[in-house]
Structure 1
Amino acid sequence: MINTYEEAIDWIHSRLRLGIKPGLKRMEWMMEKLGHPEEESTYIHVGGTNGKGSTVTYLRAILQEAGYSVGTFTSPYFEQFNERISVNGMPIPDQDLVGLVNVIKPLAEELEEAEWGSPTEFEVITAMAIYYFSKVNPQDIVIMEVGLGGRFDSTNIIHPIASAITSIGFDHMQILGDTLDKIAFEKAGIIKKGAPIFSNVHQEEAKRVIEEQAAEREGILYQNPIHFRMVNHHSTEEGEIFSVETPWGSFNNLAISMLGKHQAENAALASAILLYIIKALSFEITGEQLMEGLKKAFWPGRMERLSKEPLVYVDGAHNIEGLLSLKDTLENRFASTSKKIIFTALKDKDLRGMIEILDQMDAELYFTEFDFPRASTAAELYEISRSASKHYNNDWTELIQQVAGNAGEKDMVVITGSLYFLSNVKPIYLKFSKNKNN
C-alpha cells in the first residue's frame, strides 16, 4: 500500500529501469483487469515528432473556453510530475496520484509473473490516466499525447473521435527507424478505422506512407495544405497572426502568443480538428471561443521568456526538427540581437546533426550537462561543434548565471535542448533572477 505522494512518485520512477518495451499486450491486459476504462471516454489522439504538446494545448484551451471540461495526458512534465495528467490545464491533486498508484501497482506486480513481463513507467502512467478520466474524474473530452511512435505506443489502446500527426522528423531512430518513411509508418499506427486523421506532415515520402496507411486502415485523412491550411501568417511583438481555411469553416486574423511559424501551423491544425468536430459531431464551439482559446493557450518551455532584462528564453528544441524551428524563429524575430545559446541534450539524440544546426546560427555557443541517466557531457558536445565561438562548463547553474549575468541590453540568451534539462533550469533561473533584481 502506497501512503504518501513521495512513495507514489518513487514507485513510478522505479519502473524507468525497465526502459522502453513497445507493444500493447500489457496495456490490453491491464485494461481488461480494470473493466475496459479506455472505452468510456471521448478522446482526441495527438501524435507526431514535434508539436504534440502545443497542439494538445491549443485543443484544450479552445474546448475549455467553450465550457467543456478537458482532461489531458502529456509527457514529459515540465515543472511538476502531476502535469502529465491534468484537468483544464491544472495537474491532478497529489492524493489522486497516490490513489491511482494503489489501483495500478497490484496489476503491475501481477503482470511481472505473466508472459509479457512488467509494465514500463510510461505504461503505468498511461493506465493511470485512462482510469482517472473514466472512473475517478470523468471529463467531457480527453486529449492524449502519444509518448513514442504510435503503432506500439501504450496510448494506442484508445479509440478516438479524431487523431492528429503534427510532424515527422528524425527522433528516436533506434526504435522507430532511420528513414522518414519508416518513422511515418510508426506514427501512422494511430490511424483508426472510420476515424478522421489530420496531418501537418510536409515531407513527400512521409506523406505517401500516411496516405497508404490511411487507405489500408480505412481512416479518413485530412492533410495540410490539401484539405486545410494556414494562410496570411505574420509575426508581431506579442506572437503570431494567421488565418485558417478548412472545408468546415474559415477564420481570419487568429492570434497566438507562442512564438514561431511552426506554432501557427500547430494552432491551425488544432483549429481544423475542432472545426471538423463542430460540424460532424455537434460540439458547440463559437468562433469567438475558438479565437479566445487560441489567444490564451500557453505551453511552458516553448520559446518561453523567463526575463526581459536580460532577455532570456527557454525552448525545448530537443531534436533536429526542433532546432530548425528555433533557428527560423531566431533569424526572423530576433535578427538584430546578439545571441548566446546554452545547450545540452541526451546521448540518444542525433547530436552531430543537432550541433551542425547550432553551428550555423550566428551565436556564441555554450555547452553544458545535467544530472540525468542518458545525458551527454559538456565536453562531448563541445568536441562535436565546429563553431569558432564555442565554450563549455560542466556546471550548468554557474554557466547560466555567468552568461545571463554578463548579457547586455542588445544580447539575447537562449537556453535550449532537452526538456528534462529545461525543467531543472526554469525554477533555478527564476530564483536567480529574483535575487539579482532584489
Structure 2
Amino acid sequence: MIDDYQAALNFIHGRTKFKKIPTLDRMKRFLAELGNPQDGLTYIHVTGTNGKGSTVAMVRDALIGQGLTVGTFTSPFITRFNERIQYQGQPIADDDLVRLTRRVQLVVEKLDRILPTGGPTEFEIDTAIMFCYMAEKKPDVVILEVGIGGLYDSTNVIVPKVSVITTVGWDHMKYLGDTLGAIAHQKAGIIKEKVPIVIGKLPSEAHRVIVNEAANLNAPVYEEGVDFNVRKVNQHGLISQIIYDGIGLHHFASRLGLPGDYQVENAAVAITIVQLFMVQENLPLAPADLKQSLAATTWPGRMEIVSEEPTVILDGAHNLPGIQALVNTIHNDLGDRDVYLLVAILADKQYDLMLGELASLGNVHIMVTNFAGPSANRPSADLDDITADIRSRYPIKYAKHWQRGLESIATQLSADDVLIVTGSLYFISEVRHLFKD
C-alpha cells in the first residue's frame, strides 16, 4: 500500500527500466485504463540529444511571461523527483504525488496480471502520473520533454501544437542505434502530420532524415540559418547577449539568464517555439515580456553558477556532444582564466572521448573521481585507468571520493579561478546538495 512519499518513490523506482521490444501499445493501454488523461490538453513536444531541458525552461518562462499557465515534464531530476512534473514552475506536491501514484498503482497491478510482457516501466509510470496531474491542473499548455529517442517514447501519445528537435548526437546508442541517421530516425518519430517542427543545428546525416520525415508528413520545418538566425554580440561573456531574427521578430535583442555559449542556439530554438505556439493559438506576443523572461530563466545543473568568488559552476554535460559544448564555452569565455575541472562520468558513456575533449584545453586542471551512480547497473566509470593514455597540459589527478577531490581543488583556487563540476547529471545532483541545501 502506498501511504507516504517514500512508498510512492519506492514503487516508481522499483519498476523495470526497459522492455526488450519497444512499443507504444502498452502505454496506450495504460492510459486507456486511466481514462485517457492526456486527451483534451494542448502540448509542445521536445526531443534532442542535448538542450532539451534548457529549451523547455526558456519556453516555460516565456509562455508564463505571456500570461499563460504552463505544465512541464522533464528528466532527470536534480534534487527531488517532484521536479520532473511541474505546474507554473513549481514541482508537484508530495501529497499529490502520493495520491496519483496510488491511483496509477492499481492499474499497473492489473496490467502486470494480464499483459504477456508485464505491466508498465518506470518511465511509463512517471508519464502516466504526469498526465493525470495535468488533467487535474488543466494548464493552457504542457511542455513534454522526451525521455529517450522519440518514436517509442512514452510521451509520444499526443499530437502537439509544435514539435521540437534541439540536437542530434551520440547518446543512448544501445537503444537508438549506432549511426546518426538511426538516432535521428528515432527522434523524428515525434513529427506529426502538418504540425510545425523546430530544429536546431543538426549534422547533415541527421538533418536529411528529419527533413525527409517532415516532408512525408507535410510538417513545416523551421530551422536555424534558414527560417531564423541568432548571434551573440558580447564575445567572451559567460552570460550571453543575443540578437535574434525570424518569424515575426526582427533584430530582437535579449540577455540570457542561462550561462554558456550553447544556450545561444537553445534560446533561438525557444524563441521560435514561442512565436509559433502563440500564432497557432491566435495569441499576441509581447516582445518586452519575452525579453524579461529569457533574462530570468534558470535551470539547475546546466552551467549553474553556485558561487561567485571563486566562480563555481555545475554543468551536467553527460555525453560527448554536451562535453564538446562545454569545451567551446571554456575556450570562448574562460580562455584567459585557470579552470579546474572535477569530472565523473557514467561507465555506459563515451568517457574516454569525453575526457580527451576536456584535456585538449590548455588552461584546464583536471581531477577525475567517482560517484554512486543512479543504480548498481549504471556505475561511474573508473577514469583513473585511462588517464595515462590521455595527453593534457597539466597532469590529470585522481580522487577516489569526489568530496576529497573537491576539498583538494578548493585549497588551490584563487579568486580569479573557475571550478566546473561536470560529467553526469547524476553526479551534479550529488554535488549540488553541498551548495544548495
Q: Same fold (TM over 0.5)?
A: yes
The counterpart of 2:417, out of the listed 402, 407, 411, is 411
Instruction: Give the C-alpha shift of residue 140 in structure 1.
Output: 1.1
Instruction: Give the C-alpha shift of residue 20 in structure 1.
Output: 7.8
Q: Do the aligned partners of 2:232 and 2:264 also contact (CA within 8 Å) in 1? A: no
Structure 2 counterpart SS, 1:234: coil
Counterpart for residue 121 of structure 2: 120
Q: Summarize deviations over 1:109-160 as a string: whole Å, max 9, x none.
A: 12222124221111100111011101x2211110000010001111111111
Q: Do the aligned partners of 1:316 and 1:418 also contact (CA within 8 Å) in 2? A: yes
Q: TM-score, normalised by structure 1?
A: 0.94
Q: Do the aligned partners of 1:310 and 1:412 also contact (CA within 8 Å) in 2? A: yes
Q: How does 1:84-233 map to 2 (within 5 A)?
A: 84-113=84-113, 114-134=115-135, 136-231=136-231, 233=233
Counterpart for residue 382 of structure 2: 377
Q: What is the percent sequence identity of the aligned residues?
A: 37
Q: Summarize deviations over 1:324-374 as a string: whole Å, max 9, x none.
A: 111111111111111111111111111122112012122111111111231
Counterpart for residue 247 of structure 2: 247
The alignment covers a number of residue pairs equal to: 430
- Measured in 2, the distance between the counterparts of 1:405 and 1:19 equals 47
Structure 1 residue identity aligned to 2:302: R
Instruction: Give the C-alpha shift of residue 399 in structure 1.
Output: 1.0
Q: Summarize deviations over 1:304-324 as a string: whole Å, max 9, x none.
A: 111122221111111111111
Q: Do the aligned partners of 2:12 and 2:122 also contact (CA within 8 Å) in 1? A: yes
Structure 1 counterpart SS, 2:241: strand
Give the root-mean-square deviation of aligned CA atoms.
1.8
- Measured in 2, the distance between the counterparts of 1:366 and 1:218 equals 50
- Measured in 1, the distance between the counterparts of 2:353 and 2:142 equals 36
Q: Do the aligned partners of 2:54 and 2:299 also contact (CA within 8 Å) in 1? A: yes
Structure 1 residue identity aligned to 2:123: F
Counterpart for residue 45 of structure 1: 45
1:121/1:413 CA distance change after superposition, 3 Å: same
Structure 2 residue identity aligned to 1:403: I
Instruction: Give the C-alpha shift of residue 16 in structure 1.
Output: 4.6
Q: Do the aligned partners of 1:104 and 1:127 also contact (CA within 8 Å) in 2? A: yes
Instruction: Give the C-alpha shift of residue 382 in structure 1.
Output: 3.5
1:102/1:212 CA distance change after superposition, 3 Å: same
Structure 2 residue identity aligned to 1:170: W
Instruction: Give the C-alpha shift of residue 175 in structure 1.
Output: 1.1
Structure 2 counterpart SS, 1:61: helix
Instruction: Give the C-alpha shift of residue 27 in structure 1.
Output: 0.8
**Is the counterpart of residue 393 in structure 1 residue 399 in structure 2?**
yes
- Measured in 2, the distance between the counterparts of 1:376 and 1:25 equals 35
Q: Summarize deviations over 1:1-38 as a string: whole Å, max 9, x none.
A: 31101111111111156578632111101111122222
**Is the counterpart of residue 421 in structure 1 residue 427 in structure 2?**
yes
Counterpart for residue 408 of structure 2: 402
- Measured in 1, the distance between the counterparts of 2:15 and 2:101 equals 12
Q: Which range moved further: 119-128 or 403-412?
A: 403-412
- Measured in 2, the distance between the counterparts of 1:344 and 1:234 equals 31
- Measured in 2, the distance between the counterparts of 1:144 and 1:60 equals 11
Counterpart for residue 6 of structure 2: 6
1:335/1:96 CA distance change after superposition, 3 Å: same
- Measured in 1, the distance between the counterparts of 2:145 and 2:95 equals 23
1:384/1:193 CA distance change after superposition, 3 Å: farther
- Measured in 2, the distance between the counterparts of 1:284 and 1:41 equals 20
- Measured in 1, the distance between the counterparts of 2:121 and 2:59 equals 28
Structure 1 residue identity aligned to 2:14: S
Q: Which range moved further: 3-12 or 30-39?
A: 30-39
Q: Do the aligned partners of 1:20 and 1:120 also contact (CA within 8 Å) in 2? A: no
Counterpart for residue 436 of structure 1: none
- Measured in 1, the distance between the counterparts of 2:228 and 2:185 equals 22
Q: Do the aligned partners of 1:369 and 1:396 also contact (CA within 8 Å) in 2? A: yes
Q: Summarize deviations over 1:251-271 as a string: whole Å, max 9, x none.
A: 421110212222011111111
**Larger % of helix: which?**
1
Unmatched 5+ stretches in structure 1: 432-438
- Measured in 2, the distance between the counterparts of 1:37 and 1:189 equals 22
- Measured in 1, the distance between the counterparts of 2:142 and 2:96 equals 17
1:380/1:21 CA distance change after superposition, 3 Å: farther
Structure 1 counterpart SS, 2:23: coil
